[in-house]
Amino acid sequence: MMKKPLILVTGGAGYIGSHTVVALQQAGFEAVIVDNLSNSTVEVLSGIARITGIRPHFAQVDCCDRPALAGVFDAWPGIVAAIHFAASKSVGESVHQPLKYYHNNLQSLINMLDEMLHRGIAHFVFSSSCTVYGQPDRLPVTEDAPVKPAISPYGNTKQICEEIIRDTAAAGFALQSILLRYFNPIGAHPSAEIGELPVGVPQNLVPFITQTAAGIRKELSVFGNDYATPDGSCIRDYINVVDLARAHVSAVNYLLEGKNTAPVEAFNIGTGRGLSVLELIALFRQATGAALPFKIVGRRAGDIEQVWADPRKANSALGWQATETIEDTLRSAWKWEKRIRGIND
């Protein structure tokens, strides 16, 4: 029996990471998860196993701990590629704790690249973000759009990490990397075995929506209705997390098959459709039938007015495209929320 290619997934117990491990295993890969469980739980491994029939390898390790990370590579010497999710990810928290973000997000990447290059592992997929574009001059935004000064330490770490990867490749090291610039991941696996499980106050809109619909929060706050958009609320490109997970499998295959045309390539991972916050609220109510009280409050510092992707490069080169409808995506998020709260229909 042919041995499955082994992929290292840092932060693989997290929201996007866990869905990506499912997609990898379903595509015939074997996965090793490295996660310090600072923003996730080990129970996620059981959810992955229930979906795929395979419990992924797991090491509770902080990627900032270089000796411990080296031990992971030693324990699984057959790793052929790595997907790097491990990072602190709250825009708001990063403003108040910038050193935490610069330490965690930069040091973990540097340690990963050092270990990979030391061992001759060339294929690397980096979890980046559309935050690198700021408020784009043109919409939809393409990969050629200029990277703008970051509006948060979190966003700045994504920009710096991209620069570190580019500089490392430019120095002649044997590194083949893909930067996946996500737009706004939402939803859950349709099985409701895994989903977004924020620790403490959610940082993303959809968990606020589902927690409000579940009665955990009194009402949803919509930050601003006076933007230069059709209904005054911010516009984003909401991508189903399962679609996003599949993009990582496409990126790994693209690298392993030698299809990349440069040592570092960036791809937008979005739907190409912008939806406003108020539109998303209306769609959630329509798709689920759940009540969702909300109020308009003042703008939130650092929010970009509107951004959505031009995903044609990923569609063409990676052979990937978003396929899930926004209604099914919102229903999956609500199904997951009800499951973890023990809410019966």
Give the active site residue among 133, 154, 182, 238: 154
| Contact indicator for 150, 237 with CB cutoff of 8 Å | no
What dihedral angle (degrees, nearest 10) is formed by the CA atoms of 153, 154, 160, 164?
Answer: 140
Based on the residue annotation, tell me whether 102 is a catalytic residue of this protein.
no
Among all residues, which ones are annotated catalytic? 154
